[in-house]
Structure formats: structure tokens, C-alpha cells
Structure 1
Amino acid sequence: MRDFDPLRWVHDARAGGYAVAGFNMHNDETTQALLQAAEQAEAPVFLQVGRAVIPHMGVRRAYEMTVRNAADSGARYAIHLDHGSWEEVLEAVRLGFDSIMFDAAHLPLAENIAATRRAVELCHHYGIPVEAELGKIPDVGAPVEWASYYTDVHEAERFVAETGVDLLAISAGVVHGVIPGLEQEPLAVNLIARIAETVPVPLVLHGISGVPDNEIKDAVAHGVHKMNGDTDLRHAFRSGVLQAWESGDRQLEEALDAGRLKMIDAAVAKFHAMGSAGTAGALTGGPR
């Protein structure tokens, strides 16, 4: 079932002590995998149109792909724009996205605030909640001086107050991507807790692929109630495709189906790690 008020989910998650997942789609099979995993785990999911699929097919076609695949799904889902530019936000509003993440984190603080406030005013006019990001998230393997990447607590307080955002994505040790065998920086759970105590809106972590389950649980316990992941699930999909082909010549459809099954298992495991498995039936929310 499509939900047009997914912000309520995140508030339910904060009250219930778990996190809602935001996962990205890349094609029909990965969209189906996320829906089937959410249905199997009885967990809500933000189906995210993100930075990889937009250059590949554009916002409109990615949205249409998601709507088409979800038409007969029993999953509790919402369609979310991830890391959208101003032009993409405009298109997402016209198309009827349920939730939008506007990304101006690359700008200086004052400019980020001004740009984000403009996006919030537009989206709120149509009843669409807005997520935004403060701080920098490095690519995996890059040399990092974490003090310059972490979200500043006082800047977070100002940012939320002056923009009116509904969700705040923070930098607290996460990275974009995963290199197998490379140990990642532990999450800065004390920083998460300080920000959660300071700002009134729920917190989001992007880049949870490669983060151990115990750290995911710590982040939830200290104030994160939406978590975005992609790389771990793509790697699972790829492993299924490769295993199918390694067993001999196979039709492409058979390999894609093997990838879908692997991705379902990986997504279900993430729902359980975040604590959202089994929560879909009790969620509030619904039509705007």
C-alpha cells in the first residue's frame, strides 16, 4: 500500500525505538526486490529515486517505473526523491512524490539554509515533507579528517530552526560506498545523541552499507530513525547475477531473477537490523 504521509512513519519509529529504511532502485528487478522484501518483513520502506538512476533514466521514468512495479504490491511504501537538485525537486513535486530530500549540503551554511528554506516552502505548500543534509559524507577509501566532516551541533540547531525541514540527515562517521575488507570509521554515537537532544526533528543517516548491525542499533538508540542504504543491496544483487552466470550459460532474465532473490534477503536483513520488521501494520499515516 502506498502511503502519502511517510513522515508519520519516522515519528512512529522515534516513539517505537527503531528506524525506517530508505533504499534505492536501479531497474525493475531491484524495485521488485525492495517491495517483496518489505512485504516479507512487514516493514515500511522509502523507495528512493537517487543519484545513480536519475542520470540513467531521469526522474520521471524512474518514478513511473516505481509506480508500475508497486501497483499490485502489498508492501507499505512511499516514493522518495534522494539528493535532489532544485530542478529535480520541481519535477518531483509535479509528479507527486510522497517525500523529498533536497541536497544543498555542498554550499556554505548560509547558502544551504536559504536554498533549503526555498525548497521547504515549495514542498510544504503541497503537503510534501522535506529531508535535508548538513555536514559532509566522504566516499569510501578517501583520506578523511573527520572533524571537518562531522555535522556541527550548533549549526544543526540553526539549520533546522531557519529552514523548517522535517528530517535532518547528518554526518557521523558514515561513508558513501563499501570496499570489502576495509574497516570503516565507527559511528560517532555520542555526536548523534547530542544532535538528537538539540534539534526537534528526527535524524537520518545516509550510507549505512558496511556498518555493523550493532552500530546500526546504537545509532537508533541514540536518535537516528531513518537510515538510507544502497551499496550492500547492489552487491547482493550483483552476487546473484554472477552466481547464475558462473554456473553456465543462462538467459539474462534468469540471472536477473537470481539477483532479485539475493537482494530480497539482504534487504530483509537490513529491516531486522533497523528494528522495523513487523511494524508496517501498526503505522499511522495515510493520504494527505
Structure 2
Amino acid sequence: MKINLQSDPRQIIEEARRGGYAVGAYNMHNEETCEALLWAAERVDSPIFMQVGRAIIPHMGVERAYELTRRIAERSNAKYVIHLDHGSWDEVMLALKLGFTSVMYDGAHLPFEENIETTRKVVEIAHAFGVPVEAELGKIPDAGENVDWEAYYTDVEEARRFVAETGIDYLAISVGIVHGVIPDMPEKPINIQRIREIKAATGIPLVLHGASGLTDREIQEAKAAGVHKFNADTDLRHAFRAGLEAVFAQGDRQLEDAMAEGRARMVEATIQKMQQYGCAGKAAEAQAA
């Protein structure tokens, strides 16, 4: 049986940087959502970051989530990376042992100096495994929080020092984004100028978490300013949920029917993201570079 190995995340991000587009990182939640993401990547020939995220870890654990994702991904034709999202120290160490080829260590909740120190140690260990590290600076609120945006933005000078002293490969920043979608919150456009300033100060590819709910204009401007990886989950979960609800609205139906419809709708929603980010049609490019 065919075994498709993970692709090089550095190469994928570098090709995105050179090409002026971004790659998508999306959370898997079960077998059907994992398939939906990979099927979308196959359909439009897009590289993809398959994320083991904060929702699935308490439910399944890092190891089981990785094994599920790897089992399905190895038998796909997609150019994929299995990425740990918002990992703690212990989760990152486990991920490296398991075979993740990309990790995000999240020390953003720590005091700045401690965040630098622990992130530097993570980078030293991960780089010894040949694995790039994403880290976060600034605070990204959850949907529904009362937000003073200026207090949440990533500070440019702190970003400069953080990148220089830790050696991280990619920086996740806060510029007016949230985890989740806030339907009743007054519109707050992301701070594109802050993205430009952070990119100029750090020189490394930037990441936007909470990309669900961003307008197409914001996404295009963020790409041009230096964002080459978008993390999106909420929009895709909503598409999957809509499929479940559509089937069950017809009366008592098999769970498998509902999950199949959810999967189909999530495929289409993921394809839309890939086209929007500009990574559709770029998988072969990333493989050949």
C-alpha cells in the first residue's frame, strides 16, 4: 500500500514567501474532518498543514490524534505537514518523539523574558530533530471576550528581540484577530501596517491565527504584508456542522449519512480557503523546489 511521507514545512513556507501567497493550517477533529482536509488538498493540488489543535488534545491526546492523522494522510496524494498547534512544553517534546515535522510552542501566556527563555530551549531541541518552530507573541483573544485591541497587539520591538533571541522559524502575531468568529461584535479590521512593521523588524514569515471571519481584502493585504500561513478552523467546523444538521433535519438518519454530508461540505469550504490564500495549485511547486 502506498505510503506518502510528510513534506518539508520550511520548503512549503519558503515557496509561499517567494510566490507571494500563503498556506493554510486547519484543525482535524475526527476521521471525517481529517479526510475532508486532505481531499480538499488533493482536489486543488494544495500543500496543507494538518493541525493537531487545542480542541482535540483533551479529547483524544496528542499521540492518538497524530496516529489518526498520519494513517489517513500517508494514504492520500496530498502534500501535507502534521503540525502541533499551541503546544505546551510537554506536548512539544512528545510531538517531536512521535514524528511531527512542525510544532508551535505557545509561551505567549508567560512573562516576556520567560517566554524568550523557554522558547529558545524549545527551538534548540526541535532544531536538533530538524523540526521548525512557530511561536506566538502578543495576545489573541477568544470569541466573546471584551477586547482593548491596543493591549492585545504584538509589540514591534518585542517581536524584533524575541525572534533574534529565540531563533524561531515563524512568528504568530496579534493584529486584531480572534480565535473564533464573533457575529455580534463591531467590525475591527486587522492592522495591516502593524504586520508590515513586524515583518520589517523580524524578517521571518508571519502567521495569523483566527483567520476565520477575515474578509478577502484583509487576507490579500495580510499576504502582501508578510503573512504566509493562515490558521483557520471555525469556518470549516461550521460547514461540517451544517452538513450534519441538514441531514438530521430530514428526520432520523444514520450517523454515517450525516458525517458524510458534513465531510462533503467541509471539503468545499476548505477549497475556498485554499483558493483565497493562493496555495491552490502550488503543491507540485513545493514538492519540486
Distance in 2 of aligned mates of 1:33 and 1:11: 25
Mapping for residues 104-119 of structure 1, pairs under 5 Å: 104-119=107-122
Alignment counterpart, residue 128 of structure 1, candidates 128, 131, 142: 131
Q: Which deviates more from structure 2 when the two are superposed, residues 173-182 or residues 32-41?
A: 173-182
Q: For the Cα contact (< 8 Å) 2:104–2:134, is it kept in 1?
A: yes
Alignment counterpart, residue 149 of structure 1, candidates 148, 152, 158: 152
Aligned with 1:132: secondary structure? strand
Q: TM-score, normalised by structure 2?
A: 0.96
Alignment counterpart, residue 253 of structure 2, candidates 250, 261, 272: 250
Structure 1 residue aligned with 2:225? 222
Alignment counterpart, residue 62 of structure 1, candidates 49, 61, 65: 65
Alignment counterpart, residue 158 of structure 1, candidates 153, 156, 161: 161
In the alignment, structure 1 residue 138 sits paired with structure 2 residue 141 = yes
Deviation sequence 1:108-135 (CA, Å, 0-9, x none): 1100000100100110011000000000
When the two chains are superposed, the root-mean-square deviation of aligned CA atoms in Å is: 1.2
Relative to 1, partners in 2 of residues 1:240 and 1:180: Cα closer, same or farther, differing over 3 Å? farther
Match of 1:218, as an amino acid? E
Structure 2 residue aligned with 1:25? 28
Q: TM-score, normalised by structure 1?
A: 0.97
Aligned with 1:101: secondary structure? strand
Deviation sequence 1:217-238 (CA, Å, 0-9, x none): 1100111001101111001100
Relative to 1, partners in 2 of residues 1:116 and 1:127: Cα closer, same or farther, differing over 3 Å? same
Aligned with 2:212: secondary structure? coil
Q: Which deviates more from structure 2 when the two are superposed, residues 277-286 or residues 170-179?
A: 277-286
Distance in 2 of aligned mates of 1:7 and 1:171: 22
In the alignment, structure 1 residue 203 sits paired with structure 2 residue 201 = no
Distance in 1 of aligned mates of 2:102 and 2:266: 24
Distance in 1 of aligned mates of 2:105 and 2:183: 30
Distance in 2 of aligned mates of 1:104 and 1:72: 34
Relative to 1, partners in 2 of residues 1:134 and 1:265: Cα closer, same or farther, differing over 3 Å? same
Q: For the Cα contact (< 8 Å) 1:85–1:103, is it kept in 2?
A: yes
Match of 1:67, as an amino acid? R
Match of 2:77, as an amino acid? G
Alignment counterpart, residue 189 of structure 1, candidates 192, 198, 212: 192
Q: For the Cα contact (< 8 Å) 2:7–2:79, is it kept in 1?
A: no
In the alignment, structure 1 residue 2 sits paired with structure 2 residue 5 = yes
Alignment counterpart, residue 87 of structure 2, candidates 70, 84, 87: 84
Match of 2:55, as an amino acid? A
Distance in 1 of aligned mates of 2:187 and 2:12: 29
Distance in 1 of aligned mates of 2:187 and 2:54: 22
Give the length in aligned residue pairs.
286
In the alignment, structure 1 residue 74 sits paired with structure 2 residue 77 = yes
* Displacement of 1:5: 1.6
Match of 2:263, as an amino acid? R
Distance in 1 of aligned mates of 2:187 and 2:263: 27
Distance in 1 of aligned mates of 2:70 and 2:134: 21
* Displacement of 1:182: 4.0
* Displacement of 1:179: 3.1
Q: Which deviates more from structure 2 when the two are superposed, residues 120-129 or residues 175-184?
A: 175-184
Distance in 2 of aligned mates of 1:180 and 1:43: 30
Structure 2 residue aligned with 1:213? 216
Distance in 2 of aligned mates of 1:198 and 1:179: 31
Match of 2:26, as an amino acid? F
Distance in 2 of aligned mates of 1:11 and 1:70: 22
In the alignment, structure 1 residue 263 sits paired with structure 2 residue 266 = yes
In the alignment, structure 1 residue 46 sits paired with structure 2 residue 44 = no
* Displacement of 1:285: 7.3
Distance in 1 of aligned mates of 2:10 and 2:176: 25
Aligned with 1:12: secondary structure? helix
